[in-house]
Amino acid sequence: MHHFAYSNGSLHAEGVDIRTIAAEVGTPFYCYSSATIERHYEVLTQAFAGQDHLVCFAVKANSNQAVLATLARLGAGMDVVSEGELRRARAAGVPADRIIFAGVGKTRAEMAYALKEGILGFNIESAPELDQLSEVASSLGLTASIAIRVNPDVDAKTHAKISTGKSENKFGVPFLDAPALYERARTLPGIAISGIHMHIGSQITELGPFRDAFTLMREMVLDLKSHGITLKHLDIGGGLGVPYRADNDWPPHPDEYARIVKETLGDLRLKIVMEPGRMIIGNAGILVTRVIYVKQGQGRQFTIVDAAMNDLIRPTLYEAHHDVWPVAEPQGVHDLVAQDLVGPVCETGDYLALDRPLPAFKSDDLIAIMTAGAYGAVMSSSYNTRPLIPEILVRGETFAVVRPRPTYDDLIGQDRLPPWLTPPKT
């Protein structure tokens, strides 16, 4: 569910007319709904009622500080994968003891910064990383709380580029190697074993892979316990999918997901940590763009808009589908026209939708690309020297610009000429 709906002939974000934002801010822009973010977080936490748990939002899905602050005020922790994301979370008011540091390539500098901040813990992905964290923590006279990420070799049945739990993926420690690494961890200085971690992928729409992975993790926890390694928490990662298409079956409800967790892991009496990203922010955001003009090609219509692949790369990178809504509510019965929705970037891969039956748009029409809150703005770039686009947060009948559009001077001014190319002063 989301809080984008038609009212008085126009698409609204909660109580704000999208046309009003477009007139004030210009297009394209991202727009997020506070009510949707809050509802998704609350539905997830309510699903785990009775189970000790912590929801750590995956910052990589959307790192805007206004989004992070909205969740922090609800009690959410954060899952970060870089020092930059950690700094963002702290700047947004997230307590350090609610932050988990994940990722396969943590540097010594990042480890040191996180240790000094006093974060909740590190998810360890390899033996070399464990050794390096021990060295860094010991050199600082600090102790790093760790969970080892175990790769259960479970097929999440999702897109190959967002599958993370199979043996050929770069993430985690092979299931059979994990016990030995835990044995090593308890001998290392500066290391305190706290938990175990898994994450099998993203945009998962079936419960079967979760059940399979959770069952394997249960076996691992019991095996470790039998060898004297007692854990405090089990981090089940994230990955629960969202509905990108109105005409497809919806992913499982968080209640069903929580039931699987409780059935397979509940009697272990461990704190359950989870790292949802897309599930909370995915359909809490839209990308609003304006039609520049319509071009009739050889047997194909191109609707050229002012948003492009550098603003939303998911369609060309993941072959992802996003529903497309006209901002002006369609009236009565109207014919749909098969068309490609494309941007101005000089790439054939610059598209937002291909061969899609959509209304017959004309120049200056506003269009909303739905379910764009996750992996949209965070993956954007200034390719073709196109400035990053604004991000807007709506709450009720008000809205705020939470990331302004930079000027061309801002963008070009990031470059520096070396002395031999600097023009002489006149």
User: Same domain, yes or no, for 364 and 305?
Assistant: yes
Give a yes or no: residue 275 inside a domain.
yes
* Distances from the Cα of 188 to the Cα of 36, 77, 144, 260, angstroms: 44, 28, 11, 35
Q: State how many domains the chain has.
A: 2
DSSP string, 4-61: EEEETTEEEETTEEHHHHHHHH-SSEEEEEHHHHHHHHHHHHHHTTTS-EEEEEEGGG
User: Same domain, yes or no, for 123 and 219?
Assistant: yes
User: Same domain, yes or no, for 333 and 390?
Assistant: yes
5: tokens are 């709906």
Give a yes or no: residue 421 inside a domain.
no
Give a yes or no: residue 426 inside a domain.
no
User: Same domain, yes or no, for 260 and 304?
Assistant: no
- pLDDT greater than 50 at residue 256: yes
User: Same domain, yes or no, for 188 and 310?
Assistant: no
- Rounded to whole angstroms, the Cα distance separating 107 from 116 reads 14
The pLDDT assigned to 196 comes to: 96
Q: How sure is the predictor about 202, in pLDDT bands with cuts at 50, 70 and 90?
A: confident
Give a yes or no: residue 142 inside a domain.
yes
User: Same domain, yes or no, for 42 and 15?
Assistant: no
User: Is the dihedral angle over the CA atoms 118, 119, 120, 125 positive or is it negative?
Assistant: negative
- Give the CATH number, domain containing residue 170: 3.20.20.10
Range of the domain at 358: 4-31+283-412
Residue where a domain terminates, one of 279, 299, 315? 279
Enter the DSSP assignment of 328: B
> pTM to 2 decimals?
0.93
User: Same domain, yes or no, for 124 and 99?
Assistant: yes
User: Same domain, yes or no, for 103 and 185?
Assistant: yes
Catalytic residues, by residue number, are 346
User: Same domain, yes or no, for 340 and 378?
Assistant: yes
Give a yes or no: residue 425 inside a domain.
no
- Rounded to whole angstroms, the Cα distance separating 154 from 258 reads 19
Q: Each residue of 384-408: pLDDT tens digit? A: 999 999 999 999 999 999 999 999 9
User: Same domain, yes or no, for 157 and 272?
Assistant: yes
Q: Each residue of 283-320: pLDDT tens digit? A: 999 999 999 999 998 888 999 999 999 999 999 999 99
> Which residue in the block uniquely carries the two structure tokens 């071009």?
295
- Give the CATH number, domain containing residue 20: 2.40.37.10
User: Same domain, yes or no, for 289 and 200?
Assistant: no
